[in-house]
A = this chain, B = another copy of it.
Amino acid sequence: MALTKGDATHRDILRKALSLASEVGLGGLTLSALAERVGLSKSGLFAHVSSKENLEVLVLEEAISRFTDLVVAPALKEPRGEPRFRALISGWLSWGKAEFMPGGCVFFAAIADLDDRPGPARDRLVSSQRDWVEALATAAKVAIAEGHFRADLDPHQLAHETFALGYGHYVLLRLIGDPKTEARTNAAFERLLESARTPS
Protein backbone atom coordinates (compact mmCIF):
# COMPACT_ATOMS: atom_id res chain seq x y z
CA MET A 1 0.00 0.00 0.00
CA ALA A 2 1.35 3.41 -0.95
CA LEU A 3 -0.29 5.05 2.03
CA THR A 4 0.89 6.13 5.42
CA LYS A 5 -1.68 5.99 8.17
CA GLY A 6 -2.82 9.42 9.27
CA ASP A 7 -2.75 10.67 5.72
CA ALA A 8 -5.88 12.84 5.37
CA THR A 9 -6.54 11.78 1.77
CA HIS A 10 -6.18 8.15 2.80
CA ARG A 11 -8.75 8.55 5.55
CA ASP A 12 -11.10 10.46 3.25
CA ILE A 13 -10.88 7.71 0.61
CA LEU A 14 -11.61 4.97 3.14
CA ARG A 15 -14.49 6.89 4.68
CA LYS A 16 -16.13 7.51 1.29
CA ALA A 17 -15.42 3.97 0.07
CA LEU A 18 -17.12 2.53 3.15
CA SER A 19 -20.12 4.80 2.66
CA LEU A 20 -20.37 3.89 -1.03
CA ALA A 21 -19.94 0.14 -0.38
CA SER A 22 -22.74 0.28 2.16
CA GLU A 23 -25.00 1.64 -0.58
CA VAL A 24 -23.96 -0.40 -3.63
CA GLY A 25 -22.40 -3.49 -2.05
CA LEU A 26 -18.82 -4.63 -2.40
CA GLY A 27 -19.56 -5.98 -5.88
CA GLY A 28 -20.82 -2.60 -7.07
CA LEU A 29 -17.93 -0.64 -5.57
CA THR A 30 -15.83 0.35 -8.58
CA LEU A 31 -12.69 2.45 -8.71
CA SER A 32 -14.34 4.89 -11.12
CA ALA A 33 -17.41 5.41 -8.91
CA LEU A 34 -15.13 5.96 -5.92
CA ALA A 35 -12.84 8.34 -7.83
CA GLU A 36 -15.87 10.45 -8.68
CA ARG A 37 -17.08 10.52 -5.09
CA VAL A 38 -13.66 11.35 -3.70
CA GLY A 39 -13.05 14.00 -6.33
CA LEU A 40 -9.86 12.45 -7.68
CA SER A 41 -9.03 11.36 -11.20
CA LYS A 42 -8.99 7.61 -11.69
CA SER A 43 -5.21 7.69 -11.99
CA GLY A 44 -5.05 9.86 -8.86
CA LEU A 45 -7.04 7.21 -6.98
CA PHE A 46 -4.80 4.49 -8.41
CA ALA A 47 -1.88 6.03 -6.53
CA HIS A 48 -3.75 5.17 -3.33
CA VAL A 49 -5.68 2.02 -4.21
CA SER A 50 -4.00 -0.47 -6.51
CA SER A 51 -7.01 -2.55 -7.63
CA LYS A 52 -10.66 -3.24 -7.04
CA GLU A 53 -9.66 -6.25 -4.97
CA ASN A 54 -7.31 -4.14 -2.86
CA LEU A 55 -10.15 -1.62 -2.44
CA GLU A 56 -12.51 -4.32 -1.18
CA VAL A 57 -10.00 -5.46 1.42
CA LEU A 58 -9.33 -1.84 2.50
CA VAL A 59 -13.06 -1.22 2.94
CA LEU A 60 -13.45 -4.37 5.03
CA GLU A 61 -10.42 -3.39 7.16
CA GLU A 62 -11.94 0.05 7.71
CA ALA A 63 -15.29 -1.48 8.71
CA ILE A 64 -13.62 -4.01 11.03
CA SER A 65 -11.63 -1.24 12.71
CA ARG A 66 -14.77 0.83 13.26
CA PHE A 67 -16.73 -2.20 14.47
CA THR A 68 -13.99 -2.91 17.02
CA ASP A 69 -14.03 0.72 18.22
CA LEU A 70 -17.81 1.11 18.32
CA VAL A 71 -19.08 -2.32 19.36
CA VAL A 72 -16.37 -4.54 20.83
CA ALA A 73 -14.21 -2.07 22.79
CA PRO A 74 -17.10 -0.35 24.63
CA ALA A 75 -18.54 -3.76 25.60
CA LEU A 76 -15.19 -4.80 27.08
CA LYS A 77 -15.47 -1.81 29.43
CA GLU A 78 -18.81 -3.08 30.75
CA PRO A 79 -18.78 -5.33 33.83
CA ARG A 80 -17.91 -8.98 33.10
CA GLY A 81 -20.87 -11.29 32.62
CA GLU A 82 -24.36 -10.57 31.34
CA PRO A 83 -23.85 -6.77 31.14
CA ARG A 84 -20.95 -7.27 28.73
CA PHE A 85 -22.86 -9.81 26.64
CA ARG A 86 -25.83 -7.42 26.44
CA ALA A 87 -23.55 -4.56 25.42
CA LEU A 88 -22.29 -6.62 22.47
CA ILE A 89 -25.86 -7.22 21.31
CA SER A 90 -27.02 -3.63 21.71
CA GLY A 91 -23.84 -2.29 20.11
CA TRP A 92 -24.37 -4.61 17.15
CA LEU A 93 -27.99 -3.52 16.68
CA SER A 94 -26.86 0.14 16.72
CA TRP A 95 -24.01 -0.58 14.27
CA GLY A 96 -26.44 -1.24 11.40
CA LYS A 97 -27.78 2.31 11.83
CA ALA A 98 -24.41 4.11 11.85
CA GLU A 99 -24.50 7.36 9.88
CA PHE A 100 -21.23 6.51 8.10
CA MET A 101 -22.98 3.53 6.42
CA PRO A 102 -26.04 5.20 4.84
CA GLY A 103 -27.00 1.98 2.99
CA GLY A 104 -26.70 -0.15 6.15
CA CYS A 105 -24.16 -2.67 7.45
CA VAL A 106 -21.36 -3.20 4.97
CA PHE A 107 -20.70 -6.75 6.22
CA PHE A 108 -24.26 -7.64 5.33
CA ALA A 109 -23.83 -6.09 1.88
CA ALA A 110 -20.57 -8.02 1.45
CA ILE A 111 -21.85 -11.46 2.43
CA ALA A 112 -23.95 -12.16 -0.65
CA ASP A 113 -21.28 -10.62 -2.90
CA LEU A 114 -18.42 -12.63 -1.48
CA ASP A 115 -19.90 -15.85 -0.18
CA ASP A 116 -18.82 -17.79 -3.23
CA ARG A 117 -16.07 -15.56 -4.60
CA PRO A 118 -12.77 -16.84 -3.16
CA GLY A 119 -9.95 -14.36 -2.62
CA PRO A 120 -8.44 -11.97 -0.09
CA ALA A 121 -11.67 -9.98 0.40
CA ARG A 122 -13.69 -13.10 1.18
CA ASP A 123 -10.93 -14.34 3.50
CA ARG A 124 -10.97 -11.04 5.38
CA LEU A 125 -14.77 -11.07 5.66
CA VAL A 126 -14.80 -14.66 6.89
CA SER A 127 -12.10 -14.04 9.49
CA SER A 128 -13.95 -10.94 10.75
CA GLN A 129 -17.19 -12.86 11.16
CA ARG A 130 -15.37 -15.75 12.86
CA ASP A 131 -13.86 -13.21 15.25
CA TRP A 132 -17.31 -11.83 15.94
CA VAL A 133 -18.81 -15.26 16.70
CA GLU A 134 -15.77 -15.97 18.89
CA ALA A 135 -16.20 -12.67 20.74
CA LEU A 136 -19.80 -13.60 21.50
CA ALA A 137 -18.77 -17.09 22.68
CA THR A 138 -16.02 -15.64 24.87
CA ALA A 139 -18.44 -13.17 26.45
CA ALA A 140 -20.81 -16.08 27.11
CA LYS A 141 -17.99 -18.06 28.77
CA VAL A 142 -17.21 -15.07 30.98
CA ALA A 143 -20.89 -14.81 31.94
CA ILE A 144 -20.83 -18.51 32.89
CA ALA A 145 -17.67 -17.97 34.97
CA GLU A 146 -19.36 -15.03 36.71
CA GLY A 147 -22.34 -17.21 37.54
CA HIS A 148 -24.72 -15.10 35.45
CA PHE A 149 -25.28 -17.82 32.86
CA ARG A 150 -25.92 -21.51 33.57
CA ALA A 151 -22.86 -23.70 34.10
CA ASP A 152 -24.20 -26.22 31.56
CA LEU A 153 -24.77 -23.60 28.85
CA ASP A 154 -22.93 -24.23 25.57
CA PRO A 155 -21.34 -20.81 24.88
CA HIS A 156 -20.93 -21.64 21.17
CA GLN A 157 -24.61 -22.50 20.88
CA LEU A 158 -25.51 -19.13 22.45
CA ALA A 159 -23.08 -17.34 20.10
CA HIS A 160 -24.61 -19.14 17.10
CA GLU A 161 -28.15 -18.16 18.07
CA THR A 162 -27.17 -14.57 18.83
CA PHE A 163 -25.39 -14.24 15.48
CA ALA A 164 -28.32 -15.80 13.63
CA LEU A 165 -30.95 -13.62 15.32
CA GLY A 166 -28.86 -10.51 14.61
CA TYR A 167 -28.43 -11.20 10.89
CA GLY A 168 -32.00 -12.36 10.57
CA HIS A 169 -33.13 -9.14 12.25
CA TYR A 170 -31.22 -7.23 9.64
CA VAL A 171 -32.94 -9.06 6.77
CA LEU A 172 -36.36 -8.48 8.31
CA LEU A 173 -35.61 -4.82 8.94
CA ARG A 174 -34.13 -4.02 5.54
CA LEU A 175 -36.46 -6.10 3.44
CA ILE A 176 -39.83 -6.35 5.09
CA GLY A 177 -39.71 -3.29 7.31
CA ASP A 178 -42.50 -4.31 9.69
CA PRO A 179 -42.64 -1.57 12.36
CA LYS A 180 -42.63 -4.27 15.05
CA THR A 181 -39.35 -5.82 13.85
CA GLU A 182 -37.19 -4.10 16.43
CA ALA A 183 -39.50 -4.93 19.34
CA ARG A 184 -39.66 -8.57 18.23
CA THR A 185 -35.90 -8.83 17.94
CA ASN A 186 -35.53 -7.38 21.42
CA ALA A 187 -38.08 -9.90 22.73
CA ALA A 188 -36.18 -12.73 21.00
CA PHE A 189 -32.92 -11.67 22.63
CA GLU A 190 -34.62 -11.38 26.03
CA ARG A 191 -35.95 -14.93 25.65
CA LEU A 192 -32.52 -16.14 24.63
CA LEU A 193 -30.84 -14.46 27.63
CA GLU A 194 -33.56 -15.77 29.93
CA SER A 195 -32.83 -19.32 28.75
CA ALA A 196 -29.08 -18.76 29.30
CA ARG A 197 -29.39 -17.27 32.78
CA THR A 198 -28.72 -19.18 35.98
CA PRO A 199 -32.13 -19.84 37.59
CA SER A 200 -32.52 -17.52 40.59
Interface residues on A, range: 35 or more
Q: Are A113 and B165 in contact (CB under 8 A)?
A: no
Q: Tell me the A88-135 residues at the B interface (CB within 8 Å).
A: 103-104, 108-113, 115-116, 125-126, 129-130, 133
Known: A168-B164, A175-B126. A25 touches B27 (CB 8 A): yes
| A1-9, A51-59, A154-162 - the one binding chain B | A154-162
Tell me if A28 is interfacial: C-beta within 8 Å of chain B: yes
Q: Given A112-B108, A156-B180, A184-B157: A163 and B174 within 8 A (CB)?
A: no
Contacts of A133 in B (CB 8 A): 172, 176
Quick check: B157 and A188 within 8 Å, CB to CB? Answer: yes
Say yes or no: is A145 at the interface (Cβ < 8 Å to chain B): no
A13 → chain B, closest Cβ, in Å? 23
Q: Is A169 an interface residue (CB 8 A)?
A: yes
Q: What would 15 more interface pairs be, CB under 8 Å, given A157-B184, A160-B188, A164-B171?
A: A23-B116, A111-B112, A125-B175, A129-B176, A133-B176, A157-B187, A160-B172, A160-B181, A160-B185, A161-B188, A163-B171, A163-B172, A164-B168, A164-B169, A167-B171
